[in-house]
Amino acid sequence: MARPSPVNMNSISKNRPSMRVWVKPSATFPPFAQPMVVSYFSLDQDRRFTPDTSQLRYMYLPREAEGLGWDLNHGLAKVQRSDHAKSIERIDNLLRGILASGLSVSQEVASFMCLRGLLTRIMTTPYEQNQGWEILVSRFRGVLFMCAQETPEQRRERMGATENQKRFSSWGFKFEQYITTDQPGCPPETEAPVKEGEEFCCLFRTKLSDRRLLYGAEMDAVTCDVPLEDCLEDLMLSEFVELKTSRKLTCVRQERNFKRFKLLNWWAQNFLVNVAHIICGFRDDRGIVEKLEFYKVEEIPKMAKDLWVPAVCMTFLDQFLNFVGRTVWDCPHSNDPNTVWRFRWEPGVHYVTGDVIPGSSQLSFLPDWFLSSVVA
Ligand code: A3P
Ligand code: MG
Ligand code: MG
């Protein structure tokens, strides 16, 4: 990997490299190549991996976008949740996806590999006020694998989630059921229990500045009215759409917060995977969706003008990857794939800090089955 140049580096202490969380608002957008789909896979309700399109969903729009009356509580008693399984699986399914893709684990393919959600988190950090993060990094065959680690606060929140919070989360999945189908042309099956663990994922490859990135992302639905072949060519030519729910906006303050936080997240999440459109179901407090709104991802930054700047997000991601690369390069333990670098940030703190946990530890996240399956 090309040795990254120093950026915003500041040493709080010798053993704790740190990076300042600040990007000037006039920053220029770093070079970012159009992300391309290079592979795909499905996960069933038990998070079992198959290298196919079995969980691919097709968008199915209602005749009218208003007066829908979709009740997101419908069938809630039968919902099959999956938050515990998702919280413990780390990047195992991404690693399975990489092995199944036939791509080599090498810097020629990508110098960073991770899940898309992790990149979204980093991109939105300059504007984040509530949730901190922890990111683990290990090096194998010159590739830096990155994995989100649940922070103590996130764990407390997950363990202490109230029935109401669980219901709000399930509303988002129920909305997906109302507006997607597994057979193009066949209306959505809204009586079946929602299986929240099911996912269809694509692997994307792109280049940010001079670094190649490979990441996995869950894709909500494809906008196609004939069944796709189970092949990469069909998926590469397909258009995906992102599905969201949001409480309907009833005052200026809510509208401002929607633009400041939700639209920022939606833009970052979808920009990374070249998704052009988002469909949002606006719901009331009882979970009834009356109306759909359509958003063009490329128009979102204009809607949120003066609240956040896309170039700040992307520059921060660029600087963070530079910082991670430099920190790992500078470390004498970097040849052991069990060694973990841990990067942390908390809202209100102006620095990301890193530390290293050498050798095998509870934080090591590259499993033996992965390390031994990668052929030279
Ligand atoms: P909404 O987007 O409608 O809120 P995604 O939008 O990324 O495809 O995620 C699908 C749904 O998963 C979300 O629907 C939400 O219900 C749930 N979800 C995603 N991230 C979550 C989180 N951190 N906590 C709780 N629920 C979450
Ligand atoms: Mg999704
Ligand atoms: Mg969605």
pLDDT in tens, 342-359: 999 999 999 999 999 999
Q: Decide: 169 in ligand 1 pocket, CB within 6 A.
A: yes
ipTM: 0.97
Q: Which residues surround ligand 2, an ion (CB under 5 A)?
A: 218, 220
**Is ligand 1 within 6 A of the CB of residue 266?**
no
Say yes or no: CB of residue 259 within 6 Å of ligand 1. Answer: no
Those residues whose C-beta lies under 8 Å from the C-beta of residue 129, and which sit 6 or more positions away, are: 347, 348
pLDDT in tens, the chain (376 residues): 434 433 333 334 456 889 999 999 999 999 999 999 999 999 999 999 999 999 999 999 999 999 999 999 999 999 999 988 998 999 999 999 999 999 999 999 999 999 999 999 999 999 999 999 999 999 999 999 999 999 999 999 999 999 999 999 999 999 999 999 999 999 999 999 999 999 999 999 999 999 999 999 999 999 999 999 999 999 999 999 999 999 999 999 999 999 999 999 999 999 999 999 999 999 999 999 999 999 999 999 999 998 999 999 999 999 999 999 999 988 877 789 999 999 999 999 999 999 999 999 999 999 999 999 987 6
Nearest-10 Cα torsion for 218, 221, 227, 230: -10
| 3-state SS class at 198 | coil
Which amino acid residue places its CA nearest to atom 20 of ligand 1? 169
174 Cβ below 6 A of ligand 1:
no
> Using CA atoms, how far apart are residues 6 and 356, in angstroms rounded to an integer?
19
Residue 32 is classified by DSSP as B
Q: What is the DSSP string of 121-157?
A: HHHHGGG--S--EEEEEEEETTEEEEEEE--HHHHHH
Nearest C-alpha neighbor of 295 from the set 285, 281, 283: 281
pLDDT number for residue 221: 98
Evaluate: CB of 49 within 6 angstroms of ligand 1: no
Cβ(60)–Cβ(25) below 8 Å: no
Atom number of ligand 1 nearest to Cα 281: 3
Cross-strand bridge partners of residue 136 = 147, 342
For ligand 1, atom 19, which residue shows the shortest CA distance? 169
Q: What is the DSSP letter of 84?
A: H
pLDDT at residue number 325: 96
Question: pTM for this one?
Answer: 0.95
Q: In terms of Cα–Cα distance, which of 5, 21, 216, 184 is closest to 101?
A: 216
Does 62 contact ligand 1 (Cβ within 6 A)? no
